[in-house]
């Protein structure tokens, strides 16, 4: 490209630094992305920025993708190009933004790691030998029983659980959305056992799951307790709370084939999020749950 065209990149980066107060990391990334675009223009004999069309940007991104560049990096490159062309258009050096409607290839979604039913049973039926382990079993059962997120379980209060009706309320789920969930028989029993030995220090604490000091158990503590439980019980695989949620979704979906119900139970806003595991009222959800969930069936 002409040297004057190259200079525009420097001018753009200077504006980002001074007016937009962009971070050093952003500046270096944008500089690298735009230098690469300039090289592409040189190869294709495009001498000024106004020569770069929508089709040329598509070709540039497609070439980068074929060379193994991931979706996230390509999205950043497109963002750099769009921002650069907004700068050029304001300066009267381009009439359109050629990257405006170009999208990076979608990142393939990684399947979440899950456990099979027997692995879950082995983990949850290992037996508690102390008050704190009784609490831990109740937490782990509830993760798998109701598909709770880690933050939802730690935020759970005593008033949110109705053991007689076998249900609980998530009042502030993701996006501050609430939902009602059924609780399986195994989880009910584990919670009852925990509440029977819940330390008196916790009397004034509204949280369902409390520490030895009587305070609400935090996310990190719950994660560590699950990790320690797996080590103590000889579970080779590294299990984290979200794996129990993934297993809940996978096992329920395999048994029921009811994608919409699983979406409701997980609290997913879009069904596309739930589809990675392969429109209803609470009673129907509970019926699907009772029939399908391996630890919810009403057997003695």
Say which of 179, 216, 268, 284 is annotated catalytic.
268
In this structure, what are the phi and psi dihedrals at residue 207, rounded to the nearest 5 degrees?
-65, 145
% of the chain at pLDDT higher than 90: 57
Cα-to-chain-centroid distance, residue 36? 32
Options 64, 135, 149, 293, the catalytic residue = 149
Q: At what angle do helices 131-146 and 185-197 cross, to 10 degrees?
A: 150
Return the pLDDT at 80: 94
Distance, in Å, from the CA atom of 142 to the CA atom of 243, rounded to the nearest integer, reads 13
Per-residue confidence band for 23, with pLDDT thresholds at 50, 70 and 90: confident
- For residues 100, 102, 104 and 105, what is the CA-based torsion angle, rounded to 10 degrees? 160
Q: Kindly report whether the global pTM for this prediction surpasses the value 0.75.
A: no
Q: What is the DSSP letter of 214?
A: S
Q: Please report the pLDDT score of residue 283 as a whole number.
A: 55
Given phi > 0 = left and psi -120 to 50 = alpha, else beta, which region is 50?
A: alpha
Q: Which domains does the chain have, with CATH numbers?
A: 3-90 (1.10.150), 117-292 (1.10.443.10)
Cα distance between residue 171 and residue 152, in whole Å: 9
Task: Say whether 245 is catalytic.
Answer: yes
pLDDT tens digits for 84-134? 999 999 999 999 999 999 998 887 666 678 888 888 898 899 888 999 999
Out of 180, 216, 242, 284, pick the active-site residue: 242
Residues with Cβ within 8 Å of residue 15, at least 6 apart in sequence: 87
Tokens of 71: 């979706």
166 labelled catalytic:
no
pLDDT at 227: 92
pLDDT in tens, 261-289: 888 888 888 877 777 776 444 555 677 77
Tokens of 108: 């393939």
Confirm whether 242 is a catalytic residue. Answer: yes
Q: What is the pLDDT of residue 21?
A: 87
Whether residue 208 contacts residue 156, with contact meaning beta carbons closer than 8 Å, is answered with yes
198 is catalytic: no
| Residue 220 among the catalytic residues | no
The catalytic position among 277, 289, 293, 295 is 277
């Amino acid at each position: 490209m002409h040297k004057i065209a190259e200079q525009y990149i420097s001018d753009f980066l200077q504006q980002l630094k001074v007016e937009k107060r962009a971070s050093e990391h952003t500046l270096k990334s944008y500089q690298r992305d735009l230098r690469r675009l300039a090289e592409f223009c040189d190869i294709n004999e495009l001498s000024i920025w106004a020569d770069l069309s929508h089709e040329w940007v598509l070709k540039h991104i497609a070439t980068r993708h074929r060379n193994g560049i991931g979706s996230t990096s390509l999205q950043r490159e497109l963002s750099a190009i769009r921002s650069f062309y907004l700068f050029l258009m304001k300066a009267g050096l381009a009439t359109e933004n050629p990257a405006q409607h170009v999208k990076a290839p979608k990142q393939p979604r990684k399947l979440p790691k899950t456990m099979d039913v027997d692995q879950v049973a082995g983990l949850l039926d290992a037996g508690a030998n102390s008050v704190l382990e009784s609490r831990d079993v109740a937490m782990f059962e509830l993760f798998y029983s109701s598909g709770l997120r880690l933050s939802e379980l730690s935020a759970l209060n005593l008033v949110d659980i109705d053991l007689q009706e076998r249900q609980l309320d998530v009042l502030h789920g993701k996006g501050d959305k609430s939902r009602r969930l059924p609780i399986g028989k195994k989880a009910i029993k584990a919670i009852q056992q925990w509440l029977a030995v819940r330390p008196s220090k916790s009397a004034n604490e509204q949280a369902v799951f409390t520490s030895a000091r009587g305070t609400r158990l935090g996310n990190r503590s719950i994660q560590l307790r699950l990790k320690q439980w797996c080590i103590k019980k000889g579970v080779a695989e590294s299990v984290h709370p979200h794996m129990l949620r993934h297993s809940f979704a996978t096992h329920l979906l395999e048994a029921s084939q009811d994608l919409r119900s699983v979406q409701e139970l997980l609290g997913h806003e879009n069904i596309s999020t739930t589809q990675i595991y392969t429109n209803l009222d609470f009673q129907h959800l509970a019926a699907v749950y009772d029939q399908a969930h391996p630890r919810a069936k009403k057997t003695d």
